[in-house]
Amino acid sequence: MVQERIAVVGLGYVGIPLAALLADKGFDVVGIDVSKERASKVNEGVLPLKGVEPGLSSMLTRGVRDRRLRATTDYAHLADRTAVFVCVDTPIDEHRRPDYSRLVQAVTDIGRNMRKGTLVVIESTIAPGTMLDLVAPALEKGSGLLRGKGFKLAHCPERVMPGRLLRNLREYDRVVGALDRRSAERAVAIYSTITKGELHTTDLTSAEVAKTAENAYRDVQIAFANEVALICEGLGCDAFEVRRLVNSCPFRDMHVPGAGVGGHCLPKDPWLLVHGAKGTDPRLIPAARAVNDSMPFHVLDLVEEALRRAHVKKKRAVVAVLGASFLQDSGDTRNSPTVPLLESLKGCVAELRLHDPFVDSLAGVEASDDPKDVLRGADLAVVMVAHEAYGKMTPATIKKLMRTPAVVDGRNVFSSDRMAKAGFVYLGVGKGLT
């Protein structure tokens, strides 16, 4: 294998662990990001991501210390790179269509600065057809080179998750879509140094469909669990007990219901798959999205009911929201279900408080790092994230802090029986209301 000199464009939850791991495997790596602050932190050996990421901070520091990893905002540093990995955000707009402004800017700048023979790998998740219809033409236009002959091209969509970034990179199988055989060989040669998982080679479009479909599949599964949870609430039974019973049957894997689906992937990737569909009218995937998007507003309904049962007027209520991120023990707030809840409660309650161990503020609400401060004197606690710290709190401790013992549990953190025995008004997603 050619001793590749690598650039990673986009130093976020995908790019930073990828750059750090490649450097740890002995590659010379340059990270490129539009944020001067983020590039500076990387050059100082400081991990700019919040949350618990086992092993990543020390790996990043080691790579910078050993001069195998550095960061910049200048694409001119691509001049001596032989391989470029693109890890920029690819969000959707208000019309649920792809917003590729960052991707277009990135591949345009790469094209203007890359050398002949460079391998370009897109790790960003994209709608089917994007590699051939957008990425390849933009690289050709910027570089004056032809795909295949002048540069190599691959799409290896990321499969990382906050809280286990390095673990996923090291262990998960990867799909490597490639323009041609040589592109596939070079991409596989690099990825084989950082992962124990199997590398599945295919064409570019199949790789695009595979990534968007795998996340749409999970989104549909979660929507099913959420719909069953709503049914259970109306029937007065516990969806988590129902889930246990369902999954006792072979080949069943009912997911966990909850207060909503967040993150960068699941709220977006199903729409990318729908956008890329040609000559079809997908119905199941949009329906699942609607169910999952509705869950924070269902939590709001539970808030109203809990306050009614606790005999607390909404306008006089002090409400403590526990959890700002979209995932437990992470500081990632992208598409957090807590956002619509906070926005709906603003101005409707006497005081709105927020706690999160990894987040400073969300939706204009400052977050405390001490859950006791948030709970002290509150009339209602709303659990939106299953942070480890919440599970360690006992009902007795919570009750002593609160003015009114009322809890809405969006993540099944507490036991219905224990909360009832402690004298709480206790409602939760998937827990019977009757």
pLDDT at 1: 42
pLDDT at 434: 52
**Domain over 287-428 is classified CATH 3.30.70.980:** no
Q: Where are the domains of the chain?
A: 5-197, 287-428
Instruction: Give the model confidence (pLDDT) of 74-102 as tens digits.
Output: 999 999 999 999 999 999 999 999 999 99
**Residues with catalytic annotation?**
211, 265
Q: In 370-433, where does DSSP find H-type helix?
A: 371-375, 388-391, 395-401, 416-421
Length of the chain: 434
Mean pLDDT of 154-174: 96
Mean pLDDT of 317-326: 97
Residue 296 burial (10 A CB sphere; 0-12, 13-18, 19+): buried
Mean of per-residue pLDDT scores for the chain:
96
pLDDT at 101: 97
The CA distance from 23 to 139, in Å, is 26
Instruction: Give the model confidence (pLDDT) of 125-149 as tens digits.
Output: 999 999 999 999 999 999 999 999 9
**What does the DSSP assignment read for 353-366?**
EEE-SS-SEETTEE
**Domain over 5-197 is classified CATH 3.30.420.40:** no
State yes or no: pLDDT of 431 exceeds 70.
Answer: yes
Instruction: Give the model confidence (pLDDT) of 61-76 as tens digits.
Output: 999 999 999 999 999 9
Mean pLDDT of 224-236: 97
**pLDDT over 90 for what percent of the chain?**
97
**3-class secondary structure, 398:** helix
pTM of the predicted structure, to 2 decimals: 0.92
Evaluate whether 5-197 and 287-428 have a shared fold.
yes
Angle at Cα 48 formed by Cα 47 and Cα 51, nearest 5°? 85
State yes or no: pLDDT of 294 exceeds 60.
Answer: yes
**Residue with tokens 């994007």, as numbered in its chain:** 130
Instruction: Give the model confidence (pLDDT) of 374-391 as tens digits.
Output: 999 999 999 999 999 999
